[in-house]
């Protein structure tokens, strides 16, 4: 690291960057230069510390990983000595390389969608007399569905607590878990929880392998530590031992918003105690204007900022008569900003500098319609993965899953159901199965999907998805405009994901690893052209000059399901995260009235989180 780069660091940042041996816990507030400090520490370890070792840098989002990789591009081949990615990605690589020790065949096939995991559980229940009796005793269908959902949640809870739930005492819970696991293995499939749980088991049950990885990764750096759960903490501990504790964790307990996924800032605190880690606080805010910082402090009075920008910025409340009027006020203000700009935003205001956040996707429905009507360019990220708008591309993706995993009867049956053809004969080879199904289907998209899959299947040694995607577009050209547009948009995302995968895979590529990367969201670009339409959770780690937070009314934000102090505390942290995405201008909006799902109109109360100085 050059003297110049040292000079740009604060004393606290410099202390983190130059720390080498021993555990380190860094509490870093929003805008405190956390990503830069992490990146500079990796640079310092790779260029200034002698020895043959690698650095394991674990981020919470793919966007953060991509940003860190880009900042280290100048290191050339030295950068290859660092694994920079999410913990799930690291565990996927570990299991792909060493999973044979657990009886795993190749790269894990991931069932990332809730509906797929639920289908596996429902089938398992049908095949188990005790479980089906337990469910069938419930007369009301809604209550039966709730029980299945609660079992699915229970399975995830057990898997995400590999230490405290190592032994499942409840006989029914154990039976549900075993039935579900048998169903998943019959499909040669795994879920997200399995990636962490099985990586933990692999390291604990194979001490020599764990020791190999400890010696390989001499330094571990962990981002967003406040969002760890027990399984993630267990994997980190399994990678450490008495002789290998060069672990740095950085996070902010005020931004812990994944409690529904069993994460908690307690593991960050446990690390501090159990590893006797040195502690450093980064309390400056180099990102947000004074108006934004002031609003963040109204949400958390303990949020102390040692240094902030000398830019005033602005926070504003906009109240619509109803949801449509709220959306119009947001889009009208956006158009005004595009035209007039603002003195606190350098270089004018364009769509890519702006974001509209909602606590849930439902708070953004009217906003999306208004953006379309006014031809304002936008992109949306309302869940972890892109959701296909077209049946054709959705079918193609289902068929790709089965091409990768011949035991995946779940998705093959789903395809047969969508094409309205009989359940396939699983004794045949897959290309023949798909051909037979497509020839029976009445919708011509089935034949198009089959031909696209054939083009991939016959050239797997020189794998290329582009010809298949071109076939889907050619089919789209024969359709009415709305259907054509949906296919073109989905194909554009698919093509971008394939391109992203090729650049990240370093030459070696397989359809299996692409589908796994796609399931983990590794292939998605976090930021694109246009106004960002995001849920609060998908905005984590991003920043924009102008941020609108829509639906700031009681029952929407905070969410009506937040019934106790713990849940309301998490809602407040959600608001803190949303507010601190803004660099300059912040707008809090809500509709005075809202049409309820059953048709009635309800007056809205302003959110308790609104306090514009």
Sign of the dihedral defined by the CA atoms of residues 360, 363, 365, 369, in that order: negative
C-alpha count within 13 angstroms, C-beta hemisphere, residue 444: 7
* Rounded-to-integer distance, Cα 217 and Cα 92, Å: 16
Cβ count near 138 (within 10 Å):
14
In order of 164, 284, 306, 577, 609, the CA distances from 297 in angstroms are 36, 13, 13, 12, 11
From residue 443, give the alpha-carbon distance in Å to each of 420, 440, 447, 448, 485.
9, 9, 8, 10, 18
Q: Which residues are annotated binding-site positions? A: 28-35
The contacts found for 262-267 with CB under 8 angstroms, 24 or more apart, are 262/156, 262/157, 262/160, 262/161, 262/229, 262/230, 263/226, 263/227, 263/228, 263/229, 263/232, 264/228, 264/229, 265/226, 267/225, 267/228, 267/229, 267/230, 267/232, 267/233
Query: Nearest-CA neighbor of 36 among 4, 68, 61?
Result: 68
Torsions phi, psi for 531 (to 5 deg): -70, 135
CA dist., res. 441 & res. 420, Å (int): 7
153 and 145 in contact (C-beta within 8 Å)? no
Q: Cβ distance 356 to 531 under 8 Å?
A: yes
Phi, psi (deg, nearest 5) at residue 343: -60, -25
Concatenated DSSP letters of 189-245:
EE-HHHHHHHHHHHHHH-HHHHHHHHHHEEEEEES-GGG--HHHHHHHHHT-BTTB-
Looking up tokens 């300059």 gives: 584
Residues 6+ apart with CB under 8 A from 444: 475
Give the whole-angstrom CA distance, residue 310 versus residue 308.
Answer: 7
Q: Which residues contact 498 (CB under 8 A, 6 or more apart)?
A: 465, 466, 469, 514, 523
Please check whether residue 137 is in contact with residue 206, taking contact to mean a CB–CB distance below 8 angstroms. Answer: no
d(CA 66, CA 85): 8
Residues within the annotated binding site for ATP? 28-35
> Which residues, other chains included, contact 137 with Cβ-Cβ below 8 Å and sequence gap of 6+?
none
Angle at 536 between CA 534 and CA 542, to 5 degrees: 75
410 Cβ contact list (under 8 Å, min separation 6) = 111, 116, 119, 120, 187, 189
């Amino acid at each position: 690291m050059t003297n110049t780069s040292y000079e740009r660091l604060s004393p606290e940042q410099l202390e983190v960057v130059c720390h080498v041996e021993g555990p380190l816990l860094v509490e870093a507030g929003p805008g405190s230069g956390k990503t830069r400090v992490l990146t500079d520490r990796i640079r310092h370890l790779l260029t200034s510390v002698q020895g043959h070792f690698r650095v394991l840098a674990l981020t919470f989002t793919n966007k953060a990983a991509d940003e860190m990789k880009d900042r280290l591009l100048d290191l050339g081949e030295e950068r290859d000595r660092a694994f920079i990615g999410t913990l799930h990605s690291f565990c996927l690589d570990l299991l792909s390389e060493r999973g044979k020790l657990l009886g795993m065949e190749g790269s894990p096939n991931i069932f990332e969608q809730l509906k797929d995991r639920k289908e596996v559980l429902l089938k398992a229940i049908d095949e188990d007399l005790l479980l089906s009796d337990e469910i069938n005793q419930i007369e009301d269908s809604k209550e039966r569905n709730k029980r299945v959902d609660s079992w699915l949640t229970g399975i995830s809870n057990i898997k995400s607590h590999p230490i405290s739930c190592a032994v499942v005492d409840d006989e029914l819970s154990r039976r549900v878990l075993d039935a579900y696991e048998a169903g998943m293995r019959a499909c040669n499939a795994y879920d997200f929880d399995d990636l962490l749980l099985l990586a933990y088991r692999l390291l604990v049950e194979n001490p020599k392998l764990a020791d190999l990885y400890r010696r390989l990764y001499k330094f571990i750096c962990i981002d967003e530590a406040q969002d760890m759960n027990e399984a993630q903490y267990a994997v980190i501990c399994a990678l450490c031992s008495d002789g290998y504790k060069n672990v740095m964790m950085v996070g902010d307990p005020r931004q812990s918003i994944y409690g529904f996924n069993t994460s908690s800032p307690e593991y960050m605190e446990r690390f501090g105690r159990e590893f006797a880690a040195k502690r450093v606080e980064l309390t400056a805010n180099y990102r947000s204007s004074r108006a934004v910082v002031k609003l963040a402090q109204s949400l958390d009075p303990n949020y102390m900022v040692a240094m902030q920008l000398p830019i005033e910025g602005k926070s504003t409340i906009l109240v619509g008569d109803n949801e449509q009027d709220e959306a119009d006020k947001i889009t009208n203000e956006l158009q005004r900003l595009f035209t007039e700009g603002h003195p606190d935003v350098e270089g004018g205001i364009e769509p890519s500098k702006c974001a509209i956040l909602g606590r849930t996707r439902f708070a953004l429905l009217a906003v999306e319609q208004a953006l379309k009507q006014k031809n304002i360019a936008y992109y949306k990220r309302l869940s972890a993965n892109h959701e296909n708008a077209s049946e054709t591309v959705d079918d193609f993706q289902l068929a790709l899953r089965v091409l990768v995993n011949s035991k995946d009867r779940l998705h093959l049956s789903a395809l047969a159901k969508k094409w309205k053809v009989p359940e396939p004969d699983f004794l045949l080879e897959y290309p023949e199965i798909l051909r037979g199904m497509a020839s029976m289907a009445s919708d011509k998209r089935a034949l198009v999907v089959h031909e696209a899959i054939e083009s991939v299947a016959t050239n797997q040694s020189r794998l290329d998805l582009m010809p298949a995607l071109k076939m889907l577009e050619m089919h789209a050209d024969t359709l009415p405009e709305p259907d054509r547009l949906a296919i073109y948009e989905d194909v554009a995302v698919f093509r971008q994901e394939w391109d992203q995968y090729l650049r990240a895979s370093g030459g070696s590529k397989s359809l299996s690893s692409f589908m796994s990367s796609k399931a983990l969201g590794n292939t998605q670009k976090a930021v694109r052209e246009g106004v960002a339409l995001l849920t609060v959770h998908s905005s984590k780690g991003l920043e924009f000059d102008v941020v609108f937070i829509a639906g700031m009314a009681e029952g929407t934000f905070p969410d009506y399901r937040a019934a106790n102090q713990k849940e309301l505390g998490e809602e407040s942290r959600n608001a803190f995260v949303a507010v601190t995405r803004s660099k300059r201008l912040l707008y809090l909006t809500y509709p005075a009235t809202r049409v309820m799902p059953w048709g009635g109109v309800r007056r809205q109360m302003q959110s308790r989180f609104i306090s514009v100085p």
